[in-house]
């Protein structure tokens, strides 16, 4: 089943993001290589695809997991959580309707 992992950054998270980004991306690449990643990315703090020094306000990941507990465990183990990038992380079941 698909799950949505919606994270909200702490203020001024950019330095924390930069330090933990390589490890964070490696985990996402594993999901992608396993065919389980639907989409992933951050929310720029400004109205631009290139946030620059404005940084980000959070992230969204939609991926397949065996169940809610597995999705929550994966989210809890995110390097961004360990680096204290996120103030809050919410994991919910997700039903994809489009694209088909």
Compute the C-alpha angle 21/17/20, nearest 5°: 40
Cβ–Cβ under 8 Å, residues 91 and 4? yes
Helical residues (DSSP H) of 14-96, grouped into ranges? 14-33, 68-76, 79-82
pLDDT for res 100: 85
pTM strictly above 0.85: yes
pLDDT for res 15: 97
H-helix or E-strand spanning residue 9: strand 2-9
Give the gyration radius of the chain's Cα atoms. Answer: 13
Mean pLDDT by 10 residues, the chain (100 residues): 98 96 98 98 94 95 98 98 98 95
Closest by CA to 78, choosing from 46, 38, 30, 33, is 30
């Amino acid at each position: 089943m698909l799950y949505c992992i919606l994270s909200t950054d702490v203020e001024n998270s950019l330095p924390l993001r930069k330090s933990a980004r390589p490890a964070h991306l490696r985990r996402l690449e594993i999901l992608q290589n396993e065919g389980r990643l639907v989409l992933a990315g951050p929310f720029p703090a400004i109205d631009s695809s290139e946030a620059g020094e404005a940084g980000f306000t959070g992230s969204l990941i939609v991926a397949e997991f065996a169940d809610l507990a597995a999705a929550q465990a994966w989210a809890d183990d995110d390097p961004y959580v360990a680096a204290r990038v996120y103030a809050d992380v919410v994991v919910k079941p997700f039903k994809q309707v489009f694209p088909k």
